[in-house]
Chains A and B, each alone.
Chain A
Amino acid sequence: MKRLLTLTSALAALVSSKAALAEYGLNMTQGITEVSQDIYDLHMMVFWVCVVIGVVVFGAMFYAIIVHRKSKGHKAAHFHESTLVEFIWTGVPIVILVLMAIPASKTLIEIEVLDKADMTIKVTGHQWKWQYDYPEEGIGFISNLSQSSKDAIDDRKKGSDAKREALDADGDTYLLSVDNHLVVPVDTTIRFLITSNDVIHNWWVPAFAVKQDANPGFINDAWAKPTVIGTYRGQCAELCGKEHGFMPIVVDVVSKADYAAWVAEQQGAAAAAAEAATQQWSEDDLMAQGETLYNTNCAGCHMTDGSGGYGPAIKGSSISNGNDADEHLNIVINGKNGMPSFKMLGDSDLAAVITYERRAFGNTGSIVQPSDVTSAR
């Protein structure tokens, strides 16, 4: 009975989630670039070829199953060879394959060969977040799974009611939302340079039909020319360890004017951060910023209370107590064993998060200033 109820509610969910289905559908997305449309057309073409072949082959098979059966008194024929027939059903598939290969080759060359890009974005995969750099604009930032999705995961562990509320709160973008969106201008040819800092990741935005391995030590490229303003979501598509399912990609395609404004705003913020890194910070400021950064970057393994989980405990650890922060700095900047490097964070951010780790959870370690990080790098 309970099973029946769950099943009914699943069917109800199926009907009620039409809206969510409409977003992705049963089929491949047509996307918002010329390439994604070409790939969709190719996919549909091959699909219909398969359907036609399937109808012919399975039609013959089921006709034989229904008509040529012993229970209907059908007597077996004895033919078992025909060079002509063998020749035909070797030759016809070859012709079909050649006809499929022509548009496939054209699309492939279109994807792989790019003459000139209007702008470049460098994408770096980390366990388990994406880093975006705009080398020409001098902007760079990290993009993590959003706090709302993280809360939803945590709340789910607390029982079914909390689970449902968390799910509703996070809505359709559960596990598909990030704190810092990648922002790109519309109708612009963007070259993505894709690499990794640790293991192999894969940067996939279905709407762009861009999916490219991020290989450590090597740079791959891909390109897209988005034509429709909007927000597009994707995920890492190569198993990269524990949190592989939790490093989504969100891209805002905005108008060229909005993009220029966004770039100016980011450049201003970057200048302010560089300025702040040269200052002495108060403990309160370090702790406040450190807490946010800790919860985003560290709590997944070391837990919100620093008690350790997938990673060792920070609470009470000799590394995060005492007056000598050298080893602490070294581990956070360079990584150790399963712990990834965090050297992509700015000096102020690193100082804040390390100070937080040394002063929170009852730890009594020394304060770390941005200048300490600069000299430790």
Chain B
Amino acid sequence: MSYTAAHDDHHGPEKGLLRWVKTTNHKDIGSLYMWFAFAMLLIGGAFAMGIRAELLQPGLQLMDPQFFNQLTTMHGLIMVFGAIMPAFVGLGNWLIPMMVGAPDMALPRMNNWSFWILPFAGGILLSTFFMEGGAPAFGWTFYAPLSTTFAPDSTDFFIFAVHLLGFSSIMGAINIIATVLNMRAPEMRLMDMPLFVWTWLITSFLLIGAMPVLAGAVTMMLTDRNFGTAFFDATGGGDPVMFQHIFWFFGHPEVYIMILPAFGVVSHIIPTFARKPLFGYSSMVYATASIAFLSYIVWAHHMFLTGMPVAGELYFMYATMLIAVPTGVKVFNWVATMWKGSMTFETPMLWALSFVFLFTIGGFSGLMLGIAPADIQYHDTYFVVAHFHYVLVTGALWSIIAATFYWLPKWCGNMYNEKLAKFHFWWAMISVNVLFFPQHFLGLAGMPRRIPDYSLQFADFNYISSIGAFSFGLSFILLTYIVIDCIRNGTPSEARPWDSAKGLEWTLPSPAPYHSFNTPPARAVILEESQHS
């Protein structure tokens, strides 16, 4: 072990700012990803506050409709590509090497590059606000021809930014696949891997499959805009609906890219605080793989109103309904894990439980949306807005916050303030429902999404929703304080702060050493820490 200590000293982090620029360490890069994602969450959240402030009352009070469209567009893009996806890559970076008994990621230099592309891509995207004609204003789905023939000049910068974000995601995914398959402790079989690793491995394949399709879509936009092609321009023989097929062939796997790692996180937290092994480990793995497979064959359920033939609509409706089966299995397994447990309700567990509750509500509205005839009335209304915020905010984001509280003691070696953290949980939990639940009613009552002003019968629920939004937005100031306070002043944490937590990461001291495992853990330790025992 003395060799290890000396080795660590020799290769320890560089001092000063350059440490972060030059780092190839998975923990440093994980932290960079997490802080970047958090900064983007605050920026994207500020845009959302602008949207809700305009929608607080009927009438145009704060902004021009064009600026409103810029805000909705950039809110979606920043949250999807800047906040949720990088946060999961950050979690993967921090946790996967520790969970598979590896010293670091398989491709550390590429890891550095895939992170450092992000701030530039995000910067380019945000800089479009200051360009003539303003930022992209065609929605995060950027349907052609609104995003080609009719778009502001800044769209070319948007295309470039999307390309960069895609490079970064693909490199991150390759790195995770290489790490899991090549750097895993030799004694760890695939079916010994913890679920977070499994879900990320499967997500990586989704990323590698989906991101090049997005790159193709934006490249076709680029040539349509600048080089005289007419992929999406009907006057040149192109087809605007083809854009939507290509976009959603990326877009549907994309929504599972944002939720599969969340399933992994929750599958760690619930067994820990229920003091019971995860119910149905192998069915969880198979369900994840089935969802990933199905995610590639349901894309056109976003397009029921584009004028598809009835056979196509029937197929996409049936395939979409099928997703409810593996997703249901997951929810049932979590509940079975809690059943006859010995539960306690520390902050990570509160977030994980409210994930199960609220994500399932989002799943119900998803099932309703999948019924093609009913989708005629739901499509492009606030019902859809409520649905995807229930799965992405109280689903994906909830799991990221849960993971942060769960592994924060391992990351920084300190325990957070439990009282404050629980208070913050209840604050966020109540306000997020005040924010998004009324939007179901707005949508059913007929309020279209992406409108800056609305008719009077929508006024009351919009008012309530906006009040919830401001409260939810404010809660993130407290979250920032809790995390920084934990890192700076928290009480030192034990190696295994949660008494029944399982996983190789808990066998390392807190904070985790700079290099995770210099010698791979033995078979006995792996089995002892696995989720299926």
Chain A contact residues, CB within 8 Å of chain B: 7, 10, 13-14, 17, 20-21, 23-29, 36, 38-39, 42-43, 46-47, 50, 53-54, 57-58, 60-61, 64-65, 68-71, 74-82, 85-86, 89-90, 93-94, 97, 100-101, 104-105, 107-109, 111-113, 127, 152-153, 156-157, 163, 167, 171-176, 198-200, 202, 204, 206, 209-213, 215-218, 220, 234-246, 310, 338
Contacts and interface: CB of A to CB of B under 8 A. Distances in A.
18 contacts: A42-B373, A43-B368, A57-B335, A65-B338, A68-B341, A69-B344, A76-B274, A86-B280, A90-B329, A93-B324, A97-B324, A97-B325, A107-B373, A108-B310, A206-B377, A209-B376, A242-B69, A243-B65
A153 B58 CA distance: 9
B374 A156 contact: no
Contact of A20 (B329, B364, B446, B457): B457
Contact of B66 (A175, A198, A218, A310): A310
Contact of B457 (A17, A65, A74, A111): A17
A46 B322 CA distance: 15
Contacts of B340: 64, 68, 74, 76-77, 79
A60 B335 contact: yes
B409 interface: no
A36 B318 CA distance: 21
B456 A174 contact: yes
Nearest to B338: A64
Interface string B422-461: 0000000000000000000100111011111111110110
A374 B316 CA distance: 48
A104 B457 CA distance: 30
B69 A239 contact: yes
B314 interface: yes
Contact of B377 (A7, A20, A43, A78): A43
A263 B83 CA distance: 56
Q: Would you list the 8 A-B pairs with minimal beta carbon distance, nearest first?
A: A217-B234, A245-B451, A220-B307, A112-B310, A80-B277, A76-B342, A50-B364, A77-B340
Contact of B276 (A21, A78, A104, A310): A78
Nearest to B344: A70
A350 to B, nearest CB: 22
Interface stretch (B23-31, B32-40, B191-199, B352-360): B352-360
A235 B377 CA distance: 12
A61 B335 contact: yes
Contacts of B446: 24, 29, 206, 234-235
A46 B371 contact: yes
B379 A78 contact: no
B231 interface: no
B2 interface: no
B371 A54 contact: no
Interface residues of B, number: 95
Indicate the member of A50, A64, A171 with the most B CB atoms within 10 Å: A64
Given A24-B457, A97-B321, A174-B455, A198 B145 contact: yes
A237 B379 contact: yes
Interface in B35-58: 58
A81 B279 contact: yes
B137 to A, nearest CB: 8
Nearest to B305: A213
Contact of B456 (A28, A172, A199): A172
Given A17-B459, A200-B143, A244 B380 contact: no
B448 A245 contact: yes
B325 A90 contact: yes
B22 interface: no
B160 interface: no
B275 A153 contact: no
Contacts of A60: 335, 339
A89 B284 CA distance: 13
Indicate the member of B277, B325, B331 with the most A CB atoms within 10 Å: B325
A39 B368 CA distance: 11
A209 B281 CA distance: 44
Nearest to A107: B373
A71 to B, nearest CB: 7
A14 to B, nearest CB: 5
Contacts of A69: 342-345
A64 B277 contact: no
A40 B245 CA distance: 28
B377 A39 contact: yes
Contact of A245 (B314, B345, B453): B453
Contact of B341 (A14, A26, A77): A77
Contacts of B281: 80-81
Contacts of B444: 26-28
B317 interface: yes
Given A64-B341, A90-B329, A211 B307 contact: no
Given A89-B332, A101-B321, A17 B307 contact: no
Nearest to B61: A156
B532 interface: yes
Nearest to B68: A245
B241 A218 contact: yes
A261 to B, nearest CB: 30
Contact of B374 (A23, A43, A85): A43
A238 B451 CA distance: 10
B358 to A, nearest CB: 11
B209 interface: no
Contacts of A53: 364
Contacts of A210: 376
Indicate the member of B276, B364, B456 with the most A CB atoms within 10 Å: B456
A172 B457 contact: yes
B159 interface: no
B336 interface: yes
B353 A65 contact: yes
Contacts of A156: 59-61
A64 B317 contact: no
B332 A244 contact: no
Given A80-B276, A236-B448, 16 more contacts: A54-B364, A57-B331, A57-B332, A64-B339, A68-B338, A68-B343, A81-B279, A89-B329, A100-B321, A105-B314, A200-B240, A202-B380, A206-B377, A210-B376, A211-B380, A218-B307
B107 interface: no
A343 B342 CA distance: 73
B372 interface: yes
B390 interface: no
A14 B455 contact: no
B373 A104 contact: yes
A58 B357 contact: yes
A220 B338 CA distance: 50
Contacts of B156: none
B377 A28 contact: yes
Contact of A74 (B146, B317, B342): B342
A17 to B, nearest CB: 6
A93 B328 contact: yes
Interface in B95-154: 137-139, 143, 145-146, 149-150
B321 A200 contact: no
A61 B338 contact: yes
Interface string B451-481: 1111111011001100100000000000000
A157 B60 contact: yes
B65 A245 contact: yes
Contacts of A93: 324-325, 328
A234 B137 CA distance: 23
Nearest to A86: B283
Nearest to B278: A80
B529 interface: no
Contacts of A43: 368, 371, 374, 377
Nearest to A49: B367
Interface in B290-328: 305-307, 309-310, 313-314, 317-318, 321-322, 324-325, 328
B450 A239 contact: yes
Contacts of A90: 325, 328-329
